[in-house]
Every structure is written in C-alpha cells, then in structure tokens.
A = this chain, B = another copy of it.
Amino acid sequence: MAIRAGRGLGQYSGVARALERVGERWALLIVRDLLAGPRRYSDLKSGLPRIPTNILSDRLKELQESGVVRRVPTVRGGYELTAFGRGLEPVVVALERWGWSALGDLAEGEVLTADALAMALRAAFRADAAAELPPTEYVLHVADMSVSALVVGRGLDVVPVGPGALPQPRRSVPDVAPEAVLELAVEPSGFRDLLTGLPGAVAVKGPPHGVTILDGGSALLERFRLTFRIEPVAPPAGVTDADATGDAASVA
C-alpha cells in the first residue's frame, strides 16, 4: 500500500485532489461517455476502441473507489456516474471547449462516437441564445450513429439514438413538443465546421461542406448555429515544429 504514497501529487490543492481521482489516462474519457448516460462495460469498450480491457477494468474499479462511478444494480456490467461524478461535467465541458481549438482533422484510425458527439453539443450549447428561440429538436446523423438534441428554453437534453445502450427515459427538459425539427446528415469532417462557424454564414454561403439538410429549412440551420457554437479560444500558436493542427484547411 506504500504504492499509494507514490501516486499522490503532494499538493494540498483542489486541482491536485481532482487529478489524483480522475487524472489517470482514460479516466476522463470514461466519465465523458458516462455523462451521456449509464453504459455497459462493452459499450464503454466499443466507444473507446484503443483502451485495453484491463485498463478499462482498472479505471472503473478506481473510479468506484473514488465515489465517481457506481454500478447499476439492475444491469449486468452496467455503470453510471454518482452525483459526485456528475459534478465533473463542468470539467469535461471545459476540456471539450479548449480541445476543440486543437481538433484538426479526423486522423486515420480515429473514431467519432455518439457519446463524444453528445458532449460536443453540450459544450457548444448557448443557453442565452436558446432562451429566445422556440423549442426545437435537432437530429444529427454522423456516419452510422445519430443523436437527438432537444432544446427547450435554456434547457438542453442530448440523447444518442440507435445502437446506444441502456436507453434512459430521463429527459431533463420539460416535455414539450418541439416547434420545429431540423435533421442533418453530417460528415465527420463537416462536423467541426458546423459548430465552429460564425452565425450568419449560412445565409451567405449555405451549409458548410459535409453538411446536408435532410429535414427543415436553412432558417432552422441558422437557428442551430445560434444555439450550438464553440468559440475557438486561441490558436495553438508559437509552435516551432509541425503539429497536426490543420486548421489552415478552412481557407477564408
């Protein structure tokens, strides 16, 4: 048990305490997926293709000991966040927003999962802008998965649709029928531009590359872009050698 002494960061600090609990590799990605709802072991594994199974098992055990994750009693292999674990949402959202500026292009072998998509939408959500718009449902199809985002007032509820596991009935927004529905087919490459682009650009240039409107008008797409937007923080500047941040692709 003297091992534990080596693990601590030796700091009496909230940041250090947080990192001791969820700072290990893969831990916050597991939390990200569980923020979308309860998941089974195999769901987590398939959503995180590069994680070795023993590491996933270890992390889940550690996260349970930290009080971040608990097992779902009724479901074999089911895991969910505790209230304490759900408190990590601001952390994950902040990471998502910051990392967005360094997203670059889809690299080979990288996956885009429904849970990652859901978190991106949560991080991009503008409650202030949404509050002035009528209740709307946005359905996004990316590759082989789909997510539905229901926006009512300042509330947002994102649920993965399709092969997602453990269907959760809880909708955190009031049960109102949306005034309108926008349905988009999005290429993984166009997904970044969809959330990054400036509002108003649709009216001028139409949908970004890789985005097709399946249902709804371009006015609804504009509404989407007012509701969901991630402001780039600052370019990863000052890099001496090449890094893979290919944000130069979008020629202005």
* A86 surroundings in chain B (CB, below 8 A): 234
Q: Mark A1-37, 1 if CB is under 8 A from B, else 0.
A: 1101101111111111111110101101100100000
Bound-complex Cα distance A13 to B123 (A): 11
Q: How far is the CA of A66 from the CA of B95 in the complex (A)?
A: 15
Distance, CA A11 to CA B44, complexed state (A): 13
Chain A residues 85-104 with CB under 8 Å of chain B are 86-88, 90-104
Q: A20-B246, A84-B235, A94-B91 are in contact. Are A116 and B10 (CB under 8 A)?
A: no
Q: Is A243 close to B, CB under 8 A? A: yes
Bound form: Cα–Cα A14–B116 in Å: 8
Bound-state Cα–Cα, A28 to B96, Å: 15
Q: State the number of copies, please.
A: 2
Interface assignment of A169: CB less than 8 Å from any CB of chain B? no
Are B13 and A98 in contact, CB atoms less than 8 angstroms apart? Answer: no
Question: Given that A65-B243, A84-B234 are known contacts, is A95 also in contact with B12, CB under 8 Å in the complex?
Answer: no
> B111 contacts A11, CB within 8 Å?
yes
- Does A48 make an interface contact (CB < 8 A)? yes
A249 CB to closest chain B CB, in angstroms?
9
A110 touches B10 (CB 8 A): yes
What is the CB-to-nearest-CB distance from A230 to chain B, in angstroms, rounded to a whole number?
Answer: 8
Q: A12–B188 contact, CB under 8 A?
A: yes
Nearest CB of B to A69, in Å: 9
| Measured CA separation A235–B86 after assembly (Å) | 11
B66 with A233: CB separation less than 8 A: no
- Chain B nearest CB, measured from A27 CB (Å): 9
Among the listed B10, B15, B50, B87, which residue makes an inter-chain contact with A96, where contact means beta carbons less than 8 Å apart? B15
Contact B4–A248 (Cβ < 8 Å): yes
Residues of B within 8 A of A248 (CB): 1-2, 4-5, 8
Cβ contact within 8 Å between B15 and A92: yes
List of 8 A-B pairs having minimum Cβ-Cβ separation, nearest first: A18-B99, A87-B233, A67-B236, A14-B99, A10-B50, A17-B99, A14-B96, A13-B116
Besides A82-B234, A84-B238, 7 more A-B contacts (Cβ < 8 Å) are A10-B50, A14-B97, A15-B29, A19-B28, A65-B245, A86-B234, A87-B98
